[in-house]
Amino acid sequence: MSKKVLITGATGDTGRAAVRESIALGLDVRAMVHRKDDRSAALEALGAEVVVGDLLEINTIRDAMKDVDAAYFVWPVQPGLINATVNFAQAAKETGVKAVLNLSQRSADRESSSDSCRDSFIAEEIFNWSGLPVIHLRPTYFLEWLLYPWQLPYLQKGVLRMPVGNGRHSPIAADDQGRAVAALLKNPEAHIGTTIPLSGPVEMNHEQMAAELSEALGRKIVFQDLPIAEYCSSIEVMGVPPYIVQHLRGAMADYQKGHMAGADNNIEKLTGRRPMTVGEFARLHADKLNAA
């Protein structure tokens, strides 16, 4: 009998990849979604059992966790993380889950001015206090941010626009995170109680990122640095939710101070395959990045 695992946020960037990769590893996957739609139908087509639930409704989490061996917790950059974490931890204790994977963030920091960064730190502490067998994952910034609505229009016009100064990080794709999540859901035992950074293969600044994007896309991409306040005002006008704007205001200040710097090979150690590069990601999504 195969191990049963619960993947929350199953239609999100990391969730979709985690479902696909977990099924490929032979796990019995229960995917929790907010609603049945075309995205959940795609998960069912892969072989997942789809259940409807809400991390802010504890009874739906408890029901989704029944008979589950390991569970993956993820929350988007939006209010509610602390409530969701407490609910998840309580449901996991009630149902006897043997391993919990918590997708935190590299910028989790008690002293950050970003509400999301501070809440991510507290969420890690909540899981620790609970006594659950937990593994914290701390990914750096996702490559998927290149495709987000407040970034993509500028890239399509040849501009990588971010208020990062000379800060550096190792961009990571959600697909690679999904492979790591699947590997840990299958074999969590050696990693219980640890915090695992997750990054792409190369640390770089945004000048270097623009150069790699240029080569991959076959057209010139230039990096535009700008003040954090100006950047946040511009994305606010574009309709980016206030919570995300507030997060970026603090997180970009942290980034400029080196909080996201560093690289690791943890994806490769966990999965046997290195994560994709910026150029590989760009070529994979060239249809969107090169759209007029």
pLDDT in tens, 66-116: 999 999 999 999 999 999 999 999 999 999 999 999 999 999 999 999 999
- Separation of first and last alpha carbons in the chain: 50
pLDDT of amino acid 72: 98
Average pLDDT, rounded, for the chain: 97
Length of the chain, in residues: 292
* Domain annotation covers residue 165: no
* Domain annotation covers residue 216: no
Distance in angstroms (rounded) separating the CA atoms of residues 171 and 129: 31
Sheet of strand 49-52, all strands in order from the earlier edge strand to the far edge: 49-52, 28-33, 4-7, 70-73, 99-103, 134-139, 195-198
* Domain annotation covers residue 19: yes
**% residues pLDDT > 70 (the chain):** 99
* Domain annotation covers residue 238: no
For 9, the domain range is: 4-141+172-200+261-275
Number of separate domains in the chain? 1
State pTM to two decimals.
0.96
* Domain annotation covers residue 209: no
pLDDT of amino acid 1: 58
* Domain annotation covers residue 97: yes
Report which of 130, 129, 57, 124 is spatially closest to residue 8, judged by C-alpha positions.
Answer: 57
Q: Which residues, 6+ apart, have CB-to-CB distance to 154 below 8 Å?
A: 160, 161, 224
Task: Specify whether the CB–CB gap between 48 and 31 falls below 8 A.
Answer: yes
* Domain annotation covers residue 194: yes
Residue 291 has pLDDT above 90, yes or no: no
Chain segment 120-151, per-residue pLDDT in tens:
999 999 999 999 999 999 999 999 999 999 99
Mean pLDDT of 150-159: 96
Q: Residue 78's domain is classified under what CATH number?
A: 3.40.50.720
Mean pLDDT of 36-53: 97
Distance in angstroms (rounded) separating the CA atoms of residues 42 and 94: 30
Residue 180 has pLDDT above 70, yes or no: yes
Residue 181 has pLDDT above 90, yes or no: yes
Mean pLDDT of 202-221: 97
* Domain annotation covers residue 21: yes
pLDDT of amino acid 178: 98
